[in-house]
Every structure is written in C-alpha cells, then in structure tokens.
Structure 1
Amino acid sequence: MNEFWETRYKSSSYAYGTKPNEFFKECIDKLKPGRLLLPAEGEGRNAVYAALRGWAVDAFDYSPAARKKALQLAGGACTTIQYETNTLQNFTAPANTYDLIGLIYAHMPSADRRAVHQRLISFLKPSGYLMLEAFHKEQLGRSSGGPQNSDMLYSRTDLLDDFKELEILKAEETYVDLREGAYHNGSACVIRLMARKK
C-alpha cells in the first residue's frame, strides 16, 4: 500500500487537485482559527487552505512524495505548515492539543479504525472539533474514487459508534459531485461528520 501511494504522489500533477475539499472549506470558514491536525493529508491542499486563513497546521502522511509536494504547495502560496511522514496507526501527540482535527478521506481497515479514532479524540482540546468526510460503503463499485474494499469504507452507524463520546453536530450520508483532481471525479456517496469534544 505504501508503494501504491508513493507512486501516485510522485507524479508532477496533484492527484486530488490543489483546492480544498468543499466540506472542509465550509467548516474551516465558520471556525475561529486555532491549531489544526490533518492526518493522511496527502499533497497538502487542505493544509495550505487552512494555513492561509490563520490556522497553525500540523499534518502527516506516510508518503515522502506527498510531504514534498505539500511543502512545495505551501511555499508557492507563501505560507507555512508543519508536515511529517507518519501513519495513522503510529502518529502521536499530547492530549488536549488541537482545536480541530480534519479527516478527509482518511480510510483505514476496520481493525484499525476505532482505535485510531479514539486516539485522535484524545488529541482534541475540550470543546475542540472533529470533522470528517469519507466514502460511504455505498461507494463500492463506483469509479469516482475511494477504496474498492468494503472493509475500508464507512457507514453512519460505524462513525456514530466510534465518536459516541463527542457531541454530534452533523452526521449525514449524501451524494456529492466530486471535482478533486484526477482520482476524485464524478458522483460519489460520502459520509460527512462534524462533532465537538465535551
């Protein structure tokens, strides 16, 4: 899997474009800037958008090629992000560090998902927010993006269980018309969640 992502991100073009995810943008634009964590951030499109709006951004991905392109994107936009090479399973941070954690298409096997999500909750400050957009299980077989493995796709029930200790502000399954580079393109079934730590 590491080789798959490294190959995808080594291309000179940005696999998912350079504009932020629409749901991420919508959420960021409504919140007061603070400290933000973006796990599995890829080539930096969301990190750079947030940094330009005054957020202190920490991001990571396990692809060195993705990190290199994210830092280039930030440099080209005359802004700064902190970006390390790491995995969803191994990244750690002090408790109560972040005002917002953004999970944008951060898919993982169900065997890892709940434990990763629990650790991320611990990184949030009290009253901090967690937002997520990911492909729903109904996305399976569609060509508009996402893992072609049901175990790595999400359902509303899964996420409400994973984040049950948070105050759920939004949890919807919906269809969107993705226009995010070459690999997220067309009608897609996604789940969107916004929650706040009590």
Structure 2
Amino acid sequence: MKNNPADFWNERFGREEFIYGTEPNIFFKEQLDKLETGTLLLPAEGEGRNAVYAASQGWEVSAFDISEQGREKAMLLAKQHKVNISYEIASVLDYTSHKQFDVIAFCYTHFPIDTRKTAHKQMLQLLKKGGTIIFEAFAKAQLNNDSGGPKNEAMLF
C-alpha cells in the first residue's frame, strides 16, 4: 500500500544512521529535567532517543510507534546505554495501557487531521490527574520553511 504510514517510517528508519540522531530532543530534555522522575509515555517514539534519555535519568519509560524498524533501533540504543524501556508496535489509535502516566510527551507527533482529535483524547485518558504533557510540534508557518515537518497543512498546528 503506497500511503501506509508504517511502510513510510519503516523505510525511513531502516537506514543505518539514526535519522534524528541519538541525543534527546532539546525541548523535551529541558522540560523533562524540570520534573520529578516517574512514569513516562512516548507516543510515536521512532528510534528511541527520547526514551533512552529518559530511562537514563531514572524514568520508567513506555513508548510505542508503528515502525518495527524504529523499535529495533530504539532497543539497540537502549542496550548500548544499558537502560530498559518498554516499547510496543502500535498505532496511536490502537495503543492501550493498563497504567496511567505522570508525563506524556508528544515530540513532533503529527497525525492526520481525522486521527488527531481522537488520538489526543485517547492519550489524555492515560495521563494521571495532575500529570504533565510535553508537546512540541510544527505550526502551519513551517510550510514556508525547508527545515522539515509535514508538507500537509492539515497535519500542522
């Protein structure tokens, strides 16, 4: 299927190099470092750089993504850093958990418009009362830049 997001991300993450590097997202790191450690959920975690950083700081990390290649690289990175992360293969609409989390971090998790509201609502059900959301995404103004992000305005904020 040509427009299958899992195929897109598996191809992208199937390369030897880490597409977004192995260091955590700067904004994510800055925000996470302000918080007391606890449980963290990372939707659409990709190659695991944020999950591995959080685990190295004492967080209990759960992550998921639709990409099997992303998971493989995340688990390799976790092994290299000698940390444990829980990482499942799931779409944002299919992910379920029996636990609630202290923090949910959305780092450039752009979903199609018809998925976004449902996805965010489902993810918020997994946040503990008084929990924290870390959120970083591209705005519609990003379309004028060539520095990355979705080229579909409906997927931007």
Q: TM-score, normalised by structure 2?
A: 0.95
**Structure 1 counterpart SS, 2:76:** helix
Instruction: Name the SS for the 2:92 alignment partner.
Output: coil
Q: Percent identity?
A: 46
Residue aligned with 1:15, SS: coil
Residue pairs, 1:85-100, within 5 angstroms: 85-94=89-98, 97-100=100-103
Q: In structure 2, what is the equivalent of residue 14 of structure 1?
A: 18
Structure 1 counterpart of 2:115, from 106, 112, 118: 112
Please give the root-mean-square deviation of Cα atoms over the aligned residues, in Å. Answer: 0.9
Gaps of 5+ in 1: 155-198
Please show how residues 149-160 of structure 1 align to structure 2 within 5 Å. Answer: 149-154=152-157
**Could you report, residue by residue, the CA deviation over 1:121-153 in whole angstroms, capped at 9, with x for unpaired residues?**
110111111111011111014211111000111
Of residues 40-49 and 111-120 in structure 1, the stretch that sits farther from structure 2 once superposed is 111-120
1:153 and 1:72 map into 2 onto residues whose CA distance is 31
Q: Which residue of 1 aligns with 2:139?
A: 136
Does the CA-based 8 Å contact 1:141-1:148 persist in structure 2? no
Aligned counterparts of 1:61 and 1:14: Cα–Cα separation in 2:
15
Structure 2 unaligned segments of length 5 or more: list them: none
Q: Is 1:52–2:60 an aligned residue pair? A: no
Give the drift of 1:3. Answer: 1.5
| Runs ≥4 residues deviating over 3 A | none
Alignment equivalent of 2:33, drawn from 2, 9, 29: 29
- Match of 1:89, SS? coil
